[in-house]
Amino acid sequence: DAKTTQPNSMESNEEEPVHLPCNHSTISGTDYIHWYRQLPSQGPEYVIHGLTSNVNNRMASLAIAEDRKSSTLILHRATLRDAAVYYCILRGGAGANSKLTFGKGITLSVRP
Amino acid sequence: NAGVTQTPKFQVLKTGQSMTLQCAQDMNHNSMYWYRQDPGMGLRLIYYSASEGTTDKGEVPNGYNVSRLNKREFSLRLESAAPSQTSVYFCASSERQGFGNSPLHFGNGTRLTVT
């Protein structure tokens, strides 16, 4: 099964950039890399996804390594509201429910 | 636009009781999912429905049944609740399962306690 590994936690200062890493060394050619975040007492929220090229949206940027075995979610200016658990998962492949697995994610703390 | 709606938000059951968790989405998505999340853990997939009329087991299906009532609705049933099923349950939907370019959209969860 193609799985992802992330550090358990990271800390950041408010208004500074944050780089959240994810390793997925067994990724297959059809897998998209997805990031979600979960605020306390809420359901996970979609952040961004990509296949090969770097992606930007209003929430974050996704940098994907050339060999696709790792990726980094970039929050350009962390705010206190960005304190959450961030999950990196792989999606793709017909009928493969293993591609729907969420690990424990990275718990991001933001210091004022 | 409500997205994914789950009911109830909270529920307390006694061991052996049954209940059905309801989920509905208004995004015309084909695929729907049920996850559970225990304290300090990630989300574990219970069942999913790739399309209307189909359901498949996920990682932790024991003790649960599901029904894809129509394209909008996907329910999760606990026939005989056990304390080990105390958890937060999340429903999600996506345009299409097996299509990686299709984000998941989650509801806000049902917090279930079994005593």
H or E stretch including A49?
A: strand A45-50
pLDDT in tens, B49-70: 989 999 999 989 999 999 998 9
State the DSSP string of B23-46: EEESS--SEEEEEEE-TT--EEEE
Cβ-based contacts under 8 A for chains A and B: 74
Mutate to test the interface with A, among B104, B105, B108, B111 (most CBs of A within 10 A): B104
Strand partners, A104: none
Which residues of B fall within a CB distance of 8 Å from A93? 98, 100
Owner of token pair 């950041």: A12
pLDDT score at A104: 86
Q: What is the mean pLDDT of each run of 10 residues along chain A (112 residues)?
A: 86 96 91 93 94 93 96 96 95 61 90 95
Q: What is the pLDDT of residue A76?
A: 94
Mean pLDDT, chain A, whole residue set = 90
Q: How far is CA B1 from CA B21, B26, B28, B30, in A?
A: 21, 7, 12, 17
Strands A70-75 and A18-23: antiparallel
Q: Which of B43, B98, B106 sits opposite A95 (nearest CB)?
A: B98
Report d(CA A105, CA A35) in Å as an integer.
Answer: 10
Residue of B nearest to A35 (CA): B103
